Amino acid sequence: MRQYVVKPGDTVLRIAARYELAKEQLMTANPWISRQPYIKPGQIMFLPSSFRKRYMVMDGDTPESVAAAFQCEVCDLEAINPGLSLYRFTPGKTIALPPVSGGPLVQLQGEYGPRECAEDLLRLTSRYSCMTVEQIGASVLGTPIQALRLGSGNRALHVHGALHGNEWITSPCLLRFAEQYASAWTRGSSLLGHDVTEWFKQYTLWLVPMVNPDGVELVQQGVSGLGSAAGQLLEWNGGRENFRKWKANIRGVDLGDQFPAHWEQEVERRGKSGPAPQDYPGPAPLSEPEARGLYEHTLSIQPERVISWHSQGQEIYWNYRSCEPEYSEQWAHRLAQAAGYRAVKLSGSDAGYKDWFIQHYRKPGFTVELGRGINPLPLEDFEDLAFETTAIMAAFMSLA
């Protein structure tokens, strides 16, 4: 077995993905992992042999022919087979094969945090010239909050994800949709039967994939590296080292209760007087930079309709204190039908982004509760969740 020294930002799932291991392999080789909620920089892990696919060289094979057959490059074969060369490429020799290249750019390689989100935004805008990225604000800890812009129309639309820390899976799902949209537009093809050229011509879509990067990172990595703030966060978390249930930002403010829509009544309803993993609305509306950035960006683009993506429940909320247009319910049912969700009329809730948008603009706003289960939703659900996201977003883009 090889030794590995844990680095900042590492998680068990990220290490497993990097070395093509199953999580269970790492747990078996390192039993101590199960006794702590997070691995920490400097800890030593043992890496067992991976489950790499293998191939036995046949008569007439060359590195080039094998690379072509398995959709990889010769350099990829050389990288995982030290000493491999044409002269040692003898029949009967077994070699390891690299992962198949291709497929979507947006993939999950362990938990999806601010670093993965930033890297995907860079990859997407490098591949697709129809996409651009703008910073619309920054988190408490200074992490940029970025918006992806797609389309050339003069009618703006807005969607965002990961307002809550433990709902981070909404971020890659939204970026997978954006990738599929851009790919279809570039090829001149449709997406789930919808004409994306019409979307592009009519609308400018603003997509903010990760509103709460500090909260996401806290859920995924715990307080390691947060210095003096660690003790305060642990206190707010009831002494628990595991932040899996954390929805708030790094100051313990629930960004889902930060908007100026009967905020005082939400404060009374929640009954939270100080920072907590969830439901503390903060000392005032828009007190947190993440909420303020989202608010100011919305004011600047004046969108026709919006979606705030959350998880979980497979429900779509569409109303707020009778301020919504009369056709909002019909549109919500169309969105729900696209993915087999339920359109739900919600009451007894204030101060959300959707609430403020509907009250302020008297235009359609929706909250989508993606998937079903316990947050954070499991990584193995990602492909299904991404498909549901794309189905709802395609319907959202086509509303009229």
What pLDDT does residue 213 have? 98
Instruction: Please report which confidence band the pLDDT of residue 52 belongs to, taking 50, 70 and 90 as the band edges.
Output: low
SS3 131: strand
How buried is 107 (Cβ within 10 angstroms: 0-12 exposed, 13-18 middle, 19+ buried)?
middle
Q: What DSSP designation does 194 have?
A: B
Q: Read off the amino acid at residue 383.
A: E
Question: Over the stretch 338-395, which tens digit does the pLDDT of each residue have?
Answer: 999 999 999 999 999 999 999 999 999 999 999 999 999 999 999 999 999 999 999 9
- Report the residue count for the chain: 400
Work out the number of other CB atoms within 10 angstroms of the CB of residue 322.
7
pLDDT(72) > 80:
no
Helix (H, G, I), strand (E, B) or coil at 368: strand
- What percent of the chain stands above pLDDT 70? 98
Tell me, what's the pLDDT at 99?
67
Please tell me the number of Cα atoms within 13 Å of 322 on its side-chain side. 0
177, 192 in Cβ contact below 8 A? Answer: no
What is the per-residue pLDDT across 116-144, written as a single tens digit (0 to 9) for each? Answer: 999 999 999 999 999 999 999 999 999 99
E strands in the chain: 2-5, 44-47, 54-56, 94-96, 131-138, 144-150, 155-160, 203-208, 305-311, 315-317, 342-344, 365-370
Close Cβ partners of 388 (under 8 Å, ≥ 6 residues apart)? 173, 339, 340, 341, 370, 371
Choosing from 369, 380, 383, 388, the catalytic residue is 369
Q: Six-digit token pair at 95? A: 């070699």
Residues 6+ apart with CB under 8 A from 385: 169, 173, 311, 370, 371, 377
315-317 and 342-344 as β-strands: parallel, antiparallel, unpaired? parallel
Query: Tens digits of per-residue pLDDT, 204-261?
Result: 999 999 999 999 999 999 998 898 899 999 999 999 999 999 999 999 999 999 999 9
Examine the pLDDT at 21 and tell me if it is beyond 80.
yes
Q: Is pLDDT above 90 for 84?
A: no
Q: Quick check: 366 and 354 in contact, CB under 8 A?
A: yes
* pLDDT for the residue 100: 62
| pLDDT for residue 282 is more than 80 | yes
pLDDT over 80 (residue 69): no
Confidence of residue 86 (pLDDT cuts 50, 70, 90): low
Q: What is the DSSP letter of 22?
A: -
Q: What is the mean pLDDT of residues 16-23?
A: 84
Domains of the chain: 2-47 (3.10.350.10), 54-96 (3.10.350.10), 114-215+286-397 (3.40.630.10)
CA nearest 108: which of 99, 117, 100, 97?
A: 117
User: What backbone phi and psi angles, to 5 degrees, belong to 133?
Assistant: -125, 135
Give the pLDDT of residue 68. 78
Where is 228: in which H helix or E strand?
none
Whole-Å CA distances, 336 to 193, 374, 393: 17, 21, 11
Mean pLDDT of the chain: 94
The answer to whether residue 290 is catalytic is no
In the block, residue with structure tokens 């497929």 = 103
**Average pLDDT of the segment spanning 263-281:** 97
The confidence score (pLDDT) of residue 36 equals 94
Decide if pLDDT at 53 tops 70.
Answer: yes
Q: What is the mean pLDDT of residues 162-185?
A: 98
